[in-house]
Amino acid sequence: MDRRRKILLGTGIVTLVWLMIFAGLIGGVTGFILASKVAPNLPKTFISSSGKTVQVTSEESAVINVAQQASPAVVSIVAKGIDPFSGNLAEQGAGTGFIVDATGVVVTNSHVVDSADAIYTVVTKDKKTYSAKKISRDPINDVAVLRIDGANFPYLSFGDSSAIKVGQSVVAIGNALGKFDNTVTTGVVSGIGRGITATDQLGGNSESLEGLIQTDAAINPGNSGGPLLNLSGEVIGIDTAAASSAQNIGFAVPGNTAKSVLTNYLKNGKIVRPFLGVGTVIISKDTASLNNIPEGALVRTVQTGSAAEKAGLKKNDVITEISGKAINETNSLAKAISSRQVGESIEIKIWRGGEILQLTATLTEAP
C-alpha cells in the first residue's frame, strides 16, 4: 500500500512538473505576442537641441519625422500688387504650396494664385526667394501648379488618398496667418467625401468643392495650398478651407485629385480642362419640391462666345441631365463636365419654363 502511494505520488509530481513547464511555455509565447503589440507604444528617446534626452511615444516620433522630412519641401507663396493708395508694390496675400519634383514643380490651391494681375513669389524654408512661373489653374478642383527655377529641390510624393480611413492620423504644414511659415498641426481624418461652398475672407468670391477630406488638424488662414500628410510622409490632400463658425473643422482636396491635375500639367505644359461656359447654382431635391421645378443646376450666367451660348443655353434654364446622367447634389454639373474631354460633344437636357428641351454642346478648352 505504501509503495503504491509512493508510485502514485511520484507520478503526480512528474505530471505537475510537465504541466508547469507547458504553462510556462504558453505564458512566454503569449507574453512575447502581447509585448510585440505593445512595444510600438512604448516611449522612445531622442536628444533635444539642448542636449537633454526626451521621451516620446511612437506616434509623436512619427509626427516629428514627418515634420522634419516634409518641411523643407513646403513653401510660402506671396502675392504682391500695386497698392491703389500709395501706388507702390505691396503684399496682398500669402498662402502655402509644396514642391513635388526636384526640378521645382510646385502644387498649391487655385485660389492662392487666382489673380492674373498679381506678382507671385515662392519662399522656401531656407528663406530663398523665387519667381513663380508658368502658373496654371484648375478652379473647379481648387488646384494650381507652377514652376520655380532651380534644381535638386527637396520634394514630396503623393500617397493614395482613396485608401485613407476616418480616424487616421494626419499632419498639416503651412504658412499660418501668412506670418508663421512651416507651422505644423496634427489631427485625424474626421470625414471623407465632404462637399462645401467656400468663400474668401471678405465673403465675396465663392466656389463649390466636392469630395473633400475633413480633418480636425488646425488649418488657419495662410495654410491654404499646404500638404496634408499621413504618418508615412505622403501627401494625401491639399489644405484648402476651414469652417469659420466652428472649431477644428478643416477641409482638404484629395491627393488623388491633385495628382491627376499635376499629371495633366506635366503632360501638356499647362492644365487643360473642358469648359462649358455657364455659372450655376444647384437646386436640391427639397428646393425643387418646394418650388415645383426639377432638381438640377440653375443657370445664372452664360459666357459670351462659349459652348453653352452656342448650344442655346439661357439664364434661368435648369440643366437636369448631361449625356443621360442626372445632375444633382451628388453629381454636380462641374463634376460631370470635368470628366469629359476638350472637343467632346455632350447632350444637355434642360427645363425651361415648364418645357423640356434637348441641346448639344461641344466643349472647348477652359481659358
- Burial zone of 47 (CB within 10 Å; 0-12 exposed, 13-18 middle, 19+ buried): exposed
Q: Which of 142, 181, 239, 317 is catalytic?
A: 142
Amino acid at site 285: K
Distance, in Å, from the CA atom of 221 to the CA atom of 91, rounded to the nearest integer, reads 15
Q: Judge whether 224 counts as a catalytic residue.
A: yes
Asked if 345 is an active-site residue, the reply is: no
Q: How far apart are CA 108 and CA 24, in angstroms?
A: 59
126 is catalytic: no
Q: What is the dihedral of CA 287, 293, 295, 297, to 10 degrees?
A: -100
* 251 phi, psi to nearest 5 deg: -135, 150
Q: How many other β-carbons are positioned within 10 Å of the β-carbon of residue 58?
A: 14
List 136, 190, 224, 306, catalytic entry? 224
Q: How far apart are CA 173 and CA 239, in angstroms?
A: 9
The closest alpha carbon to 231, from 69, 22, 111, belongs to: 69
CA angle 133, 137, 141 (to 5 degrees): 145
Please identify every residue annotated as catalytic: 111, 142, 224
